[in-house]
Structure 1
């Protein structure tokens, strides 16, 4: 493994290019790029950026599907000390314009499929990374001298949270935070054999550009890119190039597990990391039985903390799979009550975390930064309890708590109970206004593939498991509920759609 004293991921990349120049760093379909070739491409792209007038700490927006050009542009931006801004490629034009204005972006690098997102943006130069539909970035000839490598505490990335409503919030992440997070995952992966991963999440998401890409660079491993997730495409990619590290939200892992040829994905894997929500116990048990050598790890993380906050060890997955585990290495964690004091064991409190991977601030939002950061601590807005074995259990968000006639209801408790029904894939619970009770409880769920949900039977079951005030008054069953960019059911979008439907009138 490389020298972990290197200050940034960029230093590590260039070290691997000297030590293992022929090892494959990135694959994109038939294209295979070695560490030596990747550093050459990054240096060339860095010179192009300098020739375009991009300087230290300038913002460069990067948008597109998962391609090797995306990876090169991401690394090149950071190589010259500029700030890379991976942008959600599913944003509406109005959102794009707002973000570009907030950023004061210098240039935009976009693949041909997403150039139209920036048609209404003035004052920013847009270049194509994959073709000739606009000025092609990779056709620029440049031999400019490059600046010094970035320092650890310089800003590296602005990562926008995956929520779809409210004021855009860009977490400013330093080079040191990227490297520290990669080290946590490197130790989790362990071993000395060559490592590899298939990136099925969009690269603009922390899972892609931090947990997988940066971690593989840190360990000298290989990142295989899947342009868009399709189960059979993932199977074929892993059949062609087996991988050792798999990570995704549980719903995507389930699609992989049930895909024809799933052995190609999991047969060679050593570690499966999942987050966003617990894995239903039957799924974890099935994975353990089908692939006994797999280590399953449940992680809880935040964009504002670069990624990883807590990890549940693999030996506890089958017995405590709904727990988010313990603080990750280098992370300090508190559970804080409304009075500002730590809560006792078994009581819900807001998760506060601190460590070197904490964001520096929200970009140009000192007001929201002040609400989120208290001294060295990041106030997450998530609620958790500490229970047996000192394990942490995520129980919801402060702003998701439903008040029904004075009774405080945590949606996650109801969701976990619904998930025990064998034909339910995922569920989301939320409150809507009620003229007398303040809130009504609504549940929306997706059935498992090719299965149906018997709503009366579900409600009968819930009445045996929950207090009467917590049983949903309405249950919505749908196969295509809105999701966030990270693949989780989008509680706010589901609630908004319900309130606009005839059912809510």
Structure 2
């Protein structure tokens, strides 16, 4: 295995006329996808792209995304996926930090990208912004050239993708994922977790610019030759409709997607009999949501865990073993996980520790940041910043982010534990628990809550409900209501953006 794009060439050769990518009525076969990607690869090389040059993608989930992603890889380039909602200043930072030569942009976001390119040019980085249509670059945007159907030779440890992590502290850092990282993680995800065959249909509502959608949706589909049916922006009604229309067998989502589909008025009438396996990641899936979803849609949800820095999949509840709701499962084959103390020593059995990971899925390092890389991987084990426990069977349970832990009067309170109780309340749709500075306790427990439409429950009733079910020092002293909680690009609730009202 060298270039990740070898997988596309192999699948297009094996299944040329099979539909690989679908977006409503638009269908793209594997040979069409390979042909379009080969054309892009030839044009990029003609325009001056050298192996190892960086190419950013600023697009929603449209067929052009896999065309440009694999076209860049065929040409030997490094892909820099970017959230289309970034503003010009943020775009400029990515262009400068990665040193991008080209940027493929969906027309809706072209103005911000051009402004970003102007700012970056002032700092000495020249990025050519190229607008796209449904299947690739707009006509005339790149010079004509012969297609490049065979991938440029790359080494296993050459960088294939630079994925910028959300940057809970400071500026985002670019995690360098190699051709080997991404190929092996797609293979493990498709074989050990989802048990995929070419007959499967995967729901592609996770954004492809995010590592979960990129690896588990796009790269697994290309590797196994199944069909990926895209939704440009998640909507629960649309998702339910597409499951029935395209006979989706594998659904990949984050907890808010499962809750939205479960609680949608169309849920009872939806045709979802094709669903076999659902995988959840990104944040903790409340047990009540998992149980109710499985019951309503008669499909198993497998919960797992990973990060941009681990390609992403590190652990999962796997279908060939008992699943343990509320856990993130066991380390997948090819990956090791353990818990460590602050000084790097292993924790004693039963104790909470920080998850450390090593294996074929761990990134090469942070792009251009050797100090940050050394801090994150001090001894060959990547430090995740997530606190967890592990049971005697090797199943990990996330307690919380190291940075999210609330210390109330000297007692440790993990927001996730309080959120789990909030989600069992029949009228709570979404919840996020945060620490609020307090003169007496140091920090106090606060909770932002979104209630289900039409609910007449009061926040006092919600507070009383939680108080009866959790230790006295843990229940939220302050609650406030929001119509909807702030979310990231995948729909993951962003606890760090939840602020109590003044």
The two structures share one fold, judged by TM-score above 0.5: yes
Partner in structure 2 of residue 273 of structure 1: 279
CA displacement at 1:263 relative to structure 2 = 6.6
Distance 1:218 1:199 in 2: 15
CA displacement at 1:27 relative to structure 2 = 1.5
**Which residues in structure 2 correspond to 1:37-76 (within 5 Å)?**
37-76=32-71
Preserved CA contact (<8 Å) 1:235 1:262: no
CA displacement at 1:199 relative to structure 2 = 0.7
Distance 2:412 2:176 in 1: 34
Partner in structure 1 of residue 353 of structure 2: 349
* Equivalent residue in structure 2 for 1:125, among 125, 128, 137: 128
CA displacement at 1:284 relative to structure 2 = 2.7
Distance 1:29 1:144 in 2: 28
Preserved CA contact (<8 Å) 1:27 1:33: yes
Distance 2:140 2:455 in 1: 48
CA displacement at 1:423 relative to structure 2 = 1.6
CA displacement at 1:470 relative to structure 2 = 2.3
Preserved CA contact (<8 Å) 1:51 1:144: no
Equivalenced residue count is 489
Q: Greater CA deviation, 248-257 or 179-188?
A: 248-257
Distance 1:322 1:34 in 2: 39
Please state whether the residue corresponding to 1:201 is helix, strand or coil.
Answer: coil
Partner in structure 2 of residue 371 of structure 1: 375
**Which residues in structure 2 correspond to 1:213-362 (within 5 Å)?**
213-259=218-264, 260=266, 266-292=272-298, 294-314=299-319, 316-317=322-323, 320-362=324-366
CA displacement at 1:193 relative to structure 2 = 5.5
CA RMSD of aligned residues (A): 2.3
Q: Greater CA deviation, 42-51 or 445-454?
A: 445-454
Task: Provide TM-score, normalisation by structure 1.
Answer: 0.91
Gaps of 5+ in 2: 119-125
Preserved CA contact (<8 Å) 1:242 1:264: no
Preserved CA contact (<8 Å) 1:50 1:144: no
Please state whether the residue corresponding to 1:54 is helix, strand or coil.
Answer: coil
Note closer, same or farther for the CA distance 1:242–1:466 as it changes in structure 2 (3 Å cut).
same
Q: Indicate whether 1:209 and 2:202 are aligned.
A: no
Gaps of 5+ in 1: 1-5
Q: Which runs of 4+ in 1 moved over 6 A?
A: 144-147
**Which residues in structure 2 correspond to 1:420-459 (within 5 Å)?**
420-459=424-463
Task: Provide TM-score, normalisation by structure 2.
Answer: 0.91
Distance 2:442 2:454 in 1: 37
Please state whether the residue corresponding to 1:465 is helix, strand or coil.
Answer: coil
Partner in structure 1 of residue 122 of structure 2: none
Please state whether the residue corresponding to 1:266 is helix, strand or coil.
Answer: coil
Please state whether the residue corresponding to 1:470 is helix, strand or coil.
Answer: coil
Distance 1:221 1:245 in 2: 10
Note closer, same or farther for the CA distance 1:14–1:378 as it changes in structure 2 (3 Å cut).
same
Preserved CA contact (<8 Å) 1:42 1:76: yes
CA displacement at 1:82 relative to structure 2 = 0.8
Distance 2:456 2:361 in 1: 43
Note closer, same or farther for the CA distance 1:135–1:291 as it changes in structure 2 (3 Å cut).
closer
Partner in structure 2 of residue 162 of structure 1: 166
Distance 2:272 2:263 in 1: 12
Preserved CA contact (<8 Å) 2:43 2:142: no
CA displacement at 1:191 relative to structure 2 = 5.7
Per-residue CA deviations over 1:369-394 (Å, capped at 9, x if unaligned) read: 12111232110000001136442110
Preserved CA contact (<8 Å) 2:47 2:142: no
Q: Which has the higher helix share?
A: 1
* Equivalent residue in structure 2 for 1:382, among 386, 406, 410: 386
Partner in structure 1 of residue 23 of structure 2: 28
Please state whether the residue corresponding to 2:55 is helix, strand or coil.
Answer: strand
Please state whether the residue corresponding to 2:498 is helix, strand or coil.
Answer: helix
Preserved CA contact (<8 Å) 2:436 2:446: yes
Please state whether the residue corresponding to 1:81 is helix, strand or coil.
Answer: coil
Please state whether the residue corresponding to 2:133 is helix, strand or coil.
Answer: coil
Preserved CA contact (<8 Å) 1:127 1:136: no
Please state whether the residue corresponding to 2:363 is helix, strand or coil.
Answer: coil
Please state whether the residue corresponding to 1:427 is helix, strand or coil.
Answer: strand
Partner in structure 2 of residue 467 of structure 1: 471
